[in-house]
Amino acid sequence: MTDSIVYNISVEMIEKYRGENLIVRSHDPSELVKKLNEEDLDKLSYVQIHTLGVGIDDLLGWEYAVPIDLAVQNPLTDLPLLYQYAPLLTNHAVRVSVPVAPGFLNLAKLAISLDFSVKLEVLQPGRTLFEEMIQLAHYYLHQSTVSKPIEYFHSLFLAFYHNTPLTLWSIQEEDPTRIRYITDQGEEAVSKRFTEMGPAPDSVLVIRKFIEARAAFQEECDACEFRVNCSGYFKWPRPDYNCDGAKSVFRMLKDAAIELRKDLAQLGERGENRS
């Protein structure tokens, strides 16, 4: 284990990983309150709740202001369950992680209206889902009532604005040099996204397989205007995946960032002229 790595673990594994940088998940919020102590907080990124709709009284009474991530399993059925978590905002930052699956658009909008931040869990969506992602990106960029980030839109927009080489792997907390997802069986992977494709591959194997897969489409990726920030993110697990939908979202965010940069430059010039 190394200091730079963040381990996403089940709360039942806390004794084994105590002292490491952690994300701690549980289906039962009361277990998080019982098993995490004050010493754990220094290296705790946040806690994840993997079953919505369970009681949150223990979280409401938790003396520590720990960030909480609500890991949505099914956007269609979990949507009405978000309301009960609004009181947590009194003492906690709350984020909703939602898979890009049918119903995600409405759930993401509801989460934002409740003052939660949002993180989209993206695999390789089809055309219909990407059309909804474009709608959500437009909502994020132009709806004046949006006050919390929607990831990966928010960080990617800022990366385009500042011309920084931030990658989706980093934004989505799947950078293999920083993140390890430990399954309930104790197997190590880069993220939960990889475990859903079959037996959890170890992080070294993931990197090797990804490099091999990307090599088959090296020319396509190298010719892509978004190759730096995407870094092949949408070429996993199927390297022949059509990235047109992803590029549409990237382009919308990049155009908006360029437009904002121009607008601010013009404001600055007007201010100088007045002085």
Residue 271 lies in a domain: no
Q: Give the residue carrying structure tokens 């909703």.
A: 96
Helices 127-142 and 104-113, interaxial angle, to 10°? 20
Dihedral of alpha carbons 119, 124, 126, 127, sign: positive
Q: What does DSSP assign to residue 183?
A: P
Terminal C-alpha separation, the chain = 57
> pLDDT confidence of 235, banded at 50, 70, 90?
confident
Residues of the domain holding 47: 6-262
Q: What does DSSP assign to residue 4?
A: T
Residue 137 lies in a domain: yes
Rounded average pLDDT over 145-169: 96
> pLDDT confidence of 269, banded at 50, 70, 90?
low
HSE-up of residue 231 (Cα within 13 Å, Cβ side): 15
> pLDDT confidence of 15, banded at 50, 70, 90?
very high
Question: What pLDDT is stored for residue 53 in this prediction?
Answer: 87
Question: What pLDDT is stored for residue 206 in this prediction?
Answer: 62
Question: What pLDDT is stored for residue 101 in this prediction?
Answer: 97
Rounded average pLDDT over 2-11: 87
Dihedral of alpha carbons 167, 170, 172, 174, sign: positive
Quote the Cα angle for 203-180-208, to 5°.
15
Rounded average pLDDT over 95-122: 98
How far apart (Å, rounded) are the C-alpha atoms in residues 92 and 155? 21
Lowest mean pLDDT among 94-98, 178-182, 191-195, 225-229: 191-195
State both tokens at 160. Answer: 């385009």
The helix (run of H) or strand (run of E) holding residue 163 is: none
> pLDDT confidence of 3, banded at 50, 70, 90?
low
Residue 267 lies in a domain: no
* Mean predicted lDDT score pLDDT of the chain: 89
Decide if 211 contacts 221 (C-beta within 8 A): no
For 158-185, b where at least 16 C-beta lie within 10 A, e where not — what string? ebbbeeeebbbbbbbbbbbeebbbbeee
- What percentage of residues in the chain have a pLDDT greater than 90? 69
Residue 207 lies in a domain: yes
- In sequence order, the β-bridge partners of residue 188 are 182
Give this prediction's pTM. 0.90
Rounded average pLDDT over 229-252: 91
Residue 67 lies in a domain: yes
Rounded average pLDDT over 13-30: 96
The helix (run of H) or strand (run of E) holding residue 152 is: none
pLDDT tens digits for range 185-212: 888 887 887 776 555 555 556 666 665 6
How far apart (Å, rounded) are the C-alpha atoms in residues 275 and 272? 5
Residue 56 lies in a domain: yes
- Decide the pairing of beta strands 117-121 and 150-151: parallel
Lowest mean pLDDT among 62-66, 80-84, 147-151, 195-199: 195-199
Please tell me the total count of domains within the chain. Answer: 1
Residue 270 lies in a domain: no
Residue 29 lies in a domain: yes
pLDDT at 4 over 90: no
Which residue in 110, 133, 107 sits closest to 122, CA to CA? 133
HSE-up of residue 200 (Cα within 13 Å, Cβ side): 17
State both tokens at 273. Answer: 């002229």
In degrees and rounded to multiples of 5, residue 94 shows phi and psi of: -125, 130
Q: What does DSSP assign to residue 122?
A: -
Which residue in 203, 159, 200, 201 sits closest to 180, CA to CA? 203
Rounded average pLDDT over 171-177: 89
